[in-house]
């Protein structure tokens, strides 16, 4: 694992989060493999097969919500031969609907990232919620 690849991936995830928070779907999309084989598993249990299916959900969410804020922290990145990486992180999503009601979720996320040409792309991602405290 090179220091350069690790720095690239740290910048990559920061840029991805910023694009999501600004609801810039075009820039957010640039962080992903937009193939029909892409898979997203979200914290509610929904599974999106292919980028297009996931993009439709995001587009509706970005249009409907008054605001969205994604936080990603405590990221642990493992890089393999500067071509493939996994990242595990804590995430928190805060959404506010048009009536001002807020919903907050948090948990863990796993990203599978692959170098494609000169860029890194997320090829699969999985979000899970933190278990409720008893």
Domain ranges of the chain: 3-129
Model pTM?
Answer: 0.91
Q: Decide the pairing of beta strands 39-41 and 119-129.
A: parallel
pLDDT band at 130 (very low <50, low <70, confident <90, very high): confident
Q: Which CATH number fits domain 3-129: 3.10.450.50, 3.40.109.10, 3.20.20.140, 3.40.50.300?
A: 3.10.450.50
What is the Cα–Cα distance from 54 to 79, expressed in whole angstroms? 26
Structure tokens of 47?
């599974």
What is the Cα–Cα distance from 110 to 54, expressed in whole angstroms? 16
User: Each residue of 14-39: pLDDT tens digit?
Assistant: 999 999 999 999 999 999 999 999 99
Structure tokens of 128?
């899970």
Task: Give Cα separations from 78 to 14, 51, 100 (angstroms).
Answer: 16, 24, 39
Alpha helix stretches (DSSP H) within the chain: 3-21, 25-29, 51-64
Q: Looking at the chain, how many residues does it have?
A: 134
Residue whose entry in the numeric block shows the structure tokens 């860029």 = 119
- List of residues 6+ apart from 83 with CB closer than 8 A: 114, 115
User: Each residue of 69-88: pLDDT tens digit?
Assistant: 999 999 999 999 999 999 99
């Amino acid at each position: 694992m090179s220091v350069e690849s690790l720095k690239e991936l740290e910048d990559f995830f920061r840029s991805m989060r910023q694009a999501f928070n600004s609801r810039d779907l075009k820039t957010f999309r640039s962080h992903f493999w937009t193939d029909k084989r892409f898979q997203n598993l979200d914290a509610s249990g929904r599974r999106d097969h292919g980028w297009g299916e996931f993009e439709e959900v995001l587009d509706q969410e970005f249009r409907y919500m008054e605001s969205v804020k994604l936080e990603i922290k405590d990221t642990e990145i493992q890089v393999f031969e500067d071509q493939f990486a996994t990242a595990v992180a804590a995430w928190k999503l805060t959404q506010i609907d048009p009536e001002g009601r807020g919903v907050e979720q948090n948990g863990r996320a796993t990203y599978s990232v692959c170098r494609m040409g000169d860029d890194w792309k997320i090829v699969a991602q999985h979000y899970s919620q933190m278990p409720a405290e008893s």
